Structure 1
């Protein structure tokens, strides 16, 4: 075997320190559904040294809710493209090798850079998803097949169970708990919380409709609006409480006190699901495996089975723009302010 790929000798790690390096450099929502796995590994194997590579947006999740894990954060785009940039890849490889991982665990959505760094880290075991579209998937020692109908949380759980089996350790419980976010606290405002954002434009219900909906709801209920720093927000009624959280900690604390959440299928929705906050969600292009992972009975998912284009996101990745050229954004345009207003009121009864 080429010496650059030669792993260090495998160590038995049941009752001794093991260095586990986890790759999860991605969006906030992807890490919300991954967090319970890291929390469970830290709880079941307190003698392990766990390091999580993640994004700056997601790092506070682990800092507050899983302080046992060491964190390294990287810009997602820079990290994922590093396999095409020798200088950047070399810097990342130095960091990775300095950790001296015994095992590398890759999340279900990690790209070629994570695969290459894991294998070049000289870890004795690299475990991740089997995604044929990943050019460097073959570098992993174990590639766990992904089941398309599984939730994203379940897919990651299966990968971790495969890792534990390869290490000869007992499996985690089959039930996936919601992440414990209690350390973030809770502001008891009991308002309807509205977050109009999402990481990609084609995943958003129009801002002007969110604003009109907020104004109608504010006639009868307290409304908390998370500012998006958009020009149209000056049309919000003065009675609506507007907040601009200075950190993820502040955002979660405000969200935890909500009576109901309204938003797109995005990171805040996953946080609401974890917190058990009922919600009305514009599902847009998202696949069913991104439905709320926990407390799903509390959510009204706005999607129309009659739309042949929905969902347009692929199993292995988002498509990044609307695929409907005849009626762009049909899955969002389908929902009027009046219809959503009535659906929310029905949920509040």
Structure 2
């Protein structure tokens, strides 16, 4: 610990800490948290935000995020006070950059006079300079060797569990963990009953999300169809969910699973509706994707189909309510390139062949059956 003490000026060791928990900053009234990306990216950051809320209970926490983050946080209860939408900027939010919009964003943020800015968005090559433009009194975050330094940093190494990585960053600001994984409760709403099959309440509800941003993380459509048909044959209500981009996958699943009574809500739900459906489910089955991570945060049991490398970064920590099936492929099925060098460490090949295709339907089905029969905390049965 001597090198940490020398670098950080003393660290309080706590049994619940992921890394060193340093002295808290004084006079913190406004906190900015930088986290772009999709649903899963936000969910990975939430334990750190909860820790910051606990450490600085009187501060206003502003998430610098994306439109999907704003929509989700409007549908759940969380430690975030407000969401400010990031401008399109290289390495922070993909899109056509508008220099005037970027300048206007920073002018607005600087007027807020943040006391603490927290970088939870990658290794810092782009996000650290972005964070520094906020002109916050204190800055903490992750950093690769080629990234601009912040006041307090931890090394960014690609293979680290993302929620734990974010908690390690929160520790730099003196915030010890409250939860190791995100915990969310749906905001009051009309509930899922309006969109689910009429008899769904009398049968186990299995919700399936077949999509993933990276096609290589997708379990084959034929496997999802076989699973859906088997669950329906067992008397489960089976519902497909996803956004508009998942509609072709859902259509193929419905065709292959026919005549099984599988229902698709793909492309029909806003985020509040998705939250309601996931919270109502008895089991959610999905790839390493935002809806699966969201279901877990809502306390719904899940069966996740993960590539082994993604499991290190994004897999659930417990197994009582969350089961995983791993794809152990380490080379691209098409060209043989090493796919374990991912993220910023190496460019990826242009092939989209699934790296989880070898996960057997039987094993996923067995996990679903096990979880359907497992009493869920807070529910009767």
Query: Which digits, 9 at most, give the CA deviation of each residue in 1:265-316, with x for residues without a partner?
Result: 11122122223322222213643333433533433322244x4439935465
Q: Distance in 2 between matches of 1:182 and 1:81?
A: 29
**Other-structure match for 2:35:** 24
Q: Distance in 2 between matches of 1:114 and 1:24?
A: 9
**Other-structure match for 1:7:** none
**Other-structure match for 2:359:** 335
- 1:1-349 aligned at under 5 Å gives the runs 14=26, 16=27, 18-63=29-74, 64-66=76-78, 69-74=81-86, 79-80=92-93, 86-109=99-122, 111-132=124-145, 135=146, 137-146=147-156, 150-164=160-174, 171-173=175-177, 175-176=179-180, 178-183=182-187, 187=192, 189=201, 190-220=204-234, 221-227=236-242, 228-230=246-248, 231-235=251-255, 236-237=257-258, 239-244=261-266, 245-284=268-307, 286-305=309-328, 307-309=329-331, 312=339, 314=341, 316-317=343-344, 329=353, 331-338=355-362, 340-348=364-372
Does the C-alpha gap of structure 1 residues 277 and 314 become closer, same or farther in structure 2, counting only changes over 3 Å?
farther
Deviates more, 1:309-318 or 1:191-200: 309-318
How many Å apart are 1:343 and its aligned residue? 4.8
Aligned-pair Cα RMSD in Å: 3.4
Does the C-alpha gap of structure 1 residues 298 and 320 become closer, same or farther in structure 2, counting only changes over 3 Å?
farther
How many Å apart are 1:219 and its aligned residue? 1.0
Q: Distance in 2 between matches of 1:289 and 1:181?
A: 26
Query: Which digits, 9 at most, give the CA deviation of each residue in 1:186-212, with x for residues without a partner?
Result: 648441110101112111112233123
> Counterpart of 2:356 in 1: which secondary structure?
helix
Q: Is the 8 A contact 2:124 2:144 kept in 1?
A: no
Question: Which 5+ residue runs of structure 1 have no aligned equivalent?
Answer: 1-11, 165-170
Q: Distance in 1 between matches of 2:227 and 2:368?
A: 10
TM-score scaled to structure 1, two decimals?
A: 0.78
Q: Distance in 2 between matches of 1:241 and 1:157?
A: 39
Question: Which 5+ residue runs of structure 2 have no aligned equivalent?
Answer: 1-23, 194-200, 333-337, 374-381
> Counterpart of 1:57 in 2: which secondary structure?
helix
Q: Is the 8 A contact 1:197 1:263 kept in 2?
A: yes
How many Å apart are 1:179 and its aligned residue? 2.0
Does the C-alpha gap of structure 1 residues 320 and 337 become closer, same or farther in structure 2, counting only changes over 3 Å?
farther
Does the C-alpha gap of structure 1 residues 105 and 219 become closer, same or farther in structure 2, counting only changes over 3 Å?
same
Query: Which digits, 9 at most, give the CA deviation of each residue in 1:86-133, with x for residues without a partner?
Result: 44542332233232222211005265443222212222222110223x
Q: Distance in 1 between matches of 2:363 and 2:100?
A: 53
Q: Is the 8 A contact 1:106 1:127 kept in 2?
A: yes
Deviates more, 1:284-293 or 1:34-43: 284-293
How many Å apart are 1:72 and its aligned residue? 0.8
Deviates more, 1:21-30 or 1:231-240: 231-240
How many Å apart are 1:147 and its aligned residue? 6.2
Deviates more, 1:268-277 or 1:230-239: 230-239
Deviates more, 1:43-52 or 1:282-291: 282-291
